Amino acid sequence: MKSLVIKDLHVNIGDREIIQGLSLTIEPGKVHAIMGPNGSGKSTLSKVIAGHPDYTVTGGEVLMDGENILGMEPDERARKGIFLAFQYPMEVPGVTIANFLRAAVQARLPEGEELEATEYYYRLYEKMDLLEINRAFTSRSVNEGFSGGEKKRCEILQMAMLEPKYAILDETDSGLDIDALKIVSHGVNVLRGPERGILLITHYQRLLDYIVPDYVHVMVEGKIVMSGPKELALELEAKGYDWVKDEEPAAV
Amino acid sequence: MSEPKGDLDLDRSIGDFSYPEHHAFDAGYGLTRDTVNYIADVKGEPDWIREFRLRALDVFESKPMPTHWATKDLETLEFDKIRYYLAHGQRPTRSWDDVPEDMKQTFERLGIPEQERKFLAGVEAQFDSEAVYSNIQKAIGEQGVIFTGSTDALIKHPEIFRKWFGKVIPTGDNKFSALNSAVFSGGSFIYVPPGVKVKHPLQAYFRINAENFGQFERTLIIADEGSELMYMEGCTAPKFETATLHSAVVELVAMRGAKIQYVTVQNWSSNVFNLVTKRGIAHEEAEIKWIDCNIGSRLTMKYPGVVLKGRKARGEVVSIALASNGQHQDTGAKMIHAADETTSNIISKSISAGTGRATYRGLVHVPKHLKGCKNNTECDALLINTDSRTDTYPAITVRGTGNAVQHEASVSQISAEQIFYMQQRGLTEGQAMSLSVNGFVNDLVRQFPMEYSVELKRLIDLEMEGSVG
């Protein structure tokens, strides 16, 4: 079965349960948005799917195309097709974007196979043109001294090069002014396609004006409490998260 | 240290190996006046060198181990269990078939050319090094450049050799320079005549290959007025040596307006004590630059220095040290300003992985009477694991007014979040570490000649693989 299936997931950090029985299915070709107030566990969900070592899964499964990925190292999950665009991308001093991506693409080749440099650069420049990114960008060190907007563009460029099956975008809109938001959204929209499932995590409805999701889910206190079509986001914007909390008993 | 046996059987870690040796003649174990006389006899040296050696032996014996500032690990050296000289032509012979499989694989992974591998594995030189070396000699000889071994030079070119030998680094400079002065053999001698700019880097590789490695190399390079030269020693492949103590002395002289660049890349096996004294004298408007990369060894102590003797002389040290499990890289630089308007620059980056320890020791000296001197020192340390260690001991004495000194130091650690970020892109933990380390030294690696920088990257990858997990 082709899809990313999260089944009754329970996650702790230390003794505290952050995710309390969350289920969600992301099919290829679909964009799901998860909205929710601060502290609802949205970012935790993204990191758990990617395999961050600080979190302990105490119950449930995450299946990618039928295979449970929870026992895998983060890099194995990544090579199998999970991509996380970070809310706060890390700096890698002294390593250029071009070299970083080259190592990442190389890591996906079978053992003993060498990446062909000219082909690689051809593809890199193709993606950069697609995302309207200046050529000089990739000779800068990864995220070093980048503005918020540059960091997010760098994430989207990596996503374009690595062509994941399932991409999770964690608060991609945070810290962006409206121009940067438009540029980054354009990038994500270009990368939408029938082969790719996307999970957008956001606090604000604003992002969803630019990246229009197929489904909207509302997450409160580690659980999805409401799901609906894209219009749900607008309703949420108008009425606020308290409305969902009040509605919660009815929605379950 | 293991007891010496007729057949050496040393316990070595990854990539290291042991093999039987058959020495028909050598100077035996231990160091006495007889050992020194034996070396002088075998090499057919003039009396002044014999006397120089014997005096050096006295100095060596009179000096204590420098453990009041250096590591106590030096006390484990047993001087009477070391062989100080193996005569040329009496070296062990062994074939490529004797070289263990894992070592051949290391060469394979480093991408070392076939012929070079045999040399590095200690297989008797069977190939054209002699020819390559004599071609180089012939080409530069037309410009009047002398490029030969130290013994050959002191016999054939005494008028130049004797004038400079032991002048930059006097015998009594330290205990190990005295040791080297007593038992030195091998090493290069280069003289570049006034105004001659040697186009291609001179590589020790071809020369020492023709004559075999020495444990106690002695190198003397003289660049006469306005001349230029780049010298490269070592290579990134591990050196598989049977001897556990290596103590070289390198002296450089840059006459007025001359430029010398001295590039070293060394990767020692993990049982080696590598205790080296390197110094240059830069006369008026001359420039000496040490580019130095130290990997491996149990303990390396090396502080390349420049004495800035003439007005407007410049000195520079660029160094990278990588200390993995059980290794201690104690490296740094010395800049002695001795004339007005002299400038010095020190850039040092060290990486400590596993239980590795990197120590930076720097000395910058600007006396009170000088004017317009500048020094810039930057030393950055990167720690890979929580039990890695780094220490910095900068000693900067600047007196007088109108002299400028700048010192920056940083210690950083690769964060778990950075590794997670890189792993999320598909790199294994080891690959993520390697790439981070390569990024850390990237700006310095670019200063190395092209072929070295490529090999260095591969070598860091290999070293880091062993430090993860």
How many C-beta atoms surround the C-beta of residue A70 within 10 A?
A: 14
- Which residue of chain B is at minimal alpha-carbon distance from A82? B424
Of the ranges A45-59, B94-108, B124-138, the best mean pLDDT one: A45-59
* Count of the separate structural domains present in chain A: 1
**Domain span at A61:** 4-90+146-251
A53 assigned to some structural domain: yes
The alpha carbon torsion through A34, A39, A41, A44 (nearest 10 deg) reads 110
pTM above 0.80, yes or no: yes
Last residue of a domain, one of B256, B287, B302: B302
Helix (H) or strand (E) holding A83, with range, is: strand A82-85
Q: How many residues does chain A have?
A: 252
Rounded Cα distance between B145 and B372, Å, is 35
From the CA of B415, how many Å to the nearest CA of chain A? 10
Residue B389 lies in a domain: no
Quick: pLDDT tens for B22-68: 334 567 788 999 999 998 988 889 999 999 999 999 999 999 999 98
Q: Are B180 and B248 in contact (CB under 8 A)?
A: yes
Q: Say if B26 falls within a structural domain.
A: yes
Residue A82 lies in a domain: yes
CB pairs under 8 A between A and B: 79
pLDDT at A11: 97
pLDDT at B210 over 80: no
Q: Quick check: is A61 in a domain? A: yes
Integer Cα distance of B220 and B248 in angstroms: 11
Q: Nearest C-alpha of chain B: how many angstroms from A178?
A: 26
Backbone Cα Rg of chain A: 18
**What confidence tens digit (pLDDT) does each residue in A215-230 have?**
999 999 999 999 999 9
Q: Which residue has the higher pLDDT, B120 or B325?
A: B325
Residue B274 has pLDDT above 60, yes or no: yes
Among B82, B459, B152, which Cα is nearest to B294's? Answer: B459
Q: Say if strands B146-149 and B188-192 run parallel, antiparallel, or are unpaired.
A: antiparallel
Q: Residue B202 is part of which domain span?
A: 1-302
Q: Is residue A206 part of a domain?
A: yes
From chain B, pick out residues whose CB is under 8 angstroms from the CB of A90. Answer: 415, 417-418, 420-422
DSSP codes joined into one string, A105-122: HHTTSPTTPPPPHHHHHH
pLDDT of residue B140: 85
Strand partners, B382: B351, B412
Per DSSP, the residues of B153-209 read HHHH-HHHHHHHTTTSS-GGGSHHHHHHHHH----EEEEE-TT-B--SPEEHHHHHH
Please say if the pLDDT value at position B117 is more than 80: no
Cβ-proximal residues to B283 (8 Å cutoff; 6+ apart), any chain: B253, B254, B255, B256, B258, B309, B310, B313
The length of chain B, given as a count of residues = 469
The half-sphere exposure of A157 on its side-chain side, counting CA atoms within 13 A, is 28
DSSP-assigned beta bridge partners for residue A106: none
Question: Which is it for strands B343-352 and B314-323: parallel, antiparallel or unpaired?
Answer: parallel
The low-confidence residues of chain A, meaning pLDDT below 70, are 247-252
Residue A95 and residue B431: Cβ atoms within 8 Å?
no
The answer to whether A73 contacts B418, with C-beta atoms less than 8 Å apart, is no
Q: Beta strand B343-352 with B305-308: parallel, antiparallel or unpaired?
A: unpaired
**Residue B55 φ/ψ, nearest 5 degrees:** -65, -40
Mean model confidence pLDDT for chain A: 92
User: How far is A88 from chain B, CA to nearest CA, in Å?
Assistant: 10
| Residues in Cβ contact with B119 at an 8 Å cutoff, skipping those fewer than 6 apart | B125, B127, B129, B209
DSSP 8-state class, residue B286:
-
CA B25 to chain centre: 28
Q: Specify whether B102 is located in the same domain as B239.
A: yes
Residue B324 in contact with residue B294, Cβ under 8 Å?
Answer: no
Residue B138 has pLDDT above 60, yes or no: yes
Statement: residue B273 has pLDDT above 70 = yes
Does residue A198 sit within a domain?
yes
> What is the distance in angstroms between the CA of the first residue and the CA of the last residue of chain B?
28
So what's the pLDDT on residue A246? Answer: 72
Domain membership of residue B385 (yes or no) is no
DSSP tag of B338: -
Higher pLDDT, B346 or A248: B346
- CA A108 – CA B425 distance, rounded (Å): 10
Backbone φ and ψ for A160, nearest 5 degrees, come out as -60, -40
C-beta atoms of A90 and B425 within 8 A = no
- Rounded to a whole number of angstroms, the distance from the CA of A237 to the nearest CA of chain B is 32
**C-alpha span between B225 and B235 (Å, rounded):** 30
Distance of CA B452 to the CA centre of its chain: 15
**Residue B212 burial (CB < 10 Å; 0-12/13-18/19+)?**
middle
Please report the sign of the dihedral spanned by the C-alpha atoms of residue B367, residue B368, residue B369, residue B371. Answer: positive
What is the pLDDT at residue A69? 97
Whole-complex ipTM:
0.96
Looking up tokens 């020693």 gives B233
Q: Considering only CB atoms, which chain B residues are within 8 Å of A91?
A: 418
Residue A133 lies in a domain: no
Structure tokens that stand for B49 in this block: 């060198």
Mutate which of A92, A97, A142, A161 to disrupt the B interface (most B C-beta within 10 Å)? A92
Q: How far apart are CA B347 and CA B368, in angstroms?
A: 25
Q: For the sheet containing A56-64, what is the strand order? A: A16-26, A4-13, A56-64, A67-68
Radius of gyration from C-alpha coordinates of chain B: 22
Q: Write the burial class of residue A252 (CB in 10 Å: 0-12 exposed, 13-18 middle, 19+ buried).
A: exposed
Between chains, do B421 and A108 touch, taking CB under 8 Å as contact? no
| Partner-chain contact B440 A103, CB within 8 Å | no
List the CATH number of the domain containing A180. 3.40.50.300
Domain boundary residue, one of B259, B277, B302: B302
Q: Quote the CA–CA distance of B391 and A159 in Å, as a whole number.
A: 41
Using a CB-CB cut-off of 8 Å, the residues of chain B touching A79 are 426
User: Contact at 8 Å (CB) between B321 and B350?
Assistant: yes
Which residue in B427, B439, B440 is closest to A107 by CB distance?
A: B427
pLDDT tens digits along B352-386: 988 999 999 999 999 999 999 999 999 999 998 87
- The residue behind tokens 């880091």 is B464
Please report the pLDDT score of residue B313 as a whole number. 98
Closest by CA to B326, choosing from B467, B438, B138, is B467
Minimal Cα–Cα distance from A239 to chain B, Å?
36
Structure tokens that stand for B104 in this block: 């051949």
**Is residue A108 situated within a structural domain?**
no
Within 423-462 of B, beta carbons closer than 8 Å to A belong to 423-429, 431-432, 435-436, 438-443
Whether A137 is in a domain gets the answer: no
Token pair 């530069």: residue: B140
B298 in a structural domain: yes
At A7 the pLDDT is 97
pLDDT of residue B214: 53
* Cα B254 to Cα B256: distance, rounded to the nearest angstrom: 7
Phi, psi of B166 (to 5 degrees): 75, 10
Task: Count Cβ atoms below 10 Å from residue B12 Cβ, excluding itself.
Answer: 14
DSSP string, A168-234: EEESTTTT--HHHHHHHHHHHHHH--TT-EEEEEES-THHHHHS--SEEEEEETTEEEEEE-THHHH
Give the minimum alpha-carbon distance from A99 to chain B in angstroms, rounded to a whole number. 9
A90–B421: do the CB atoms touch at under 8 Å? Answer: yes
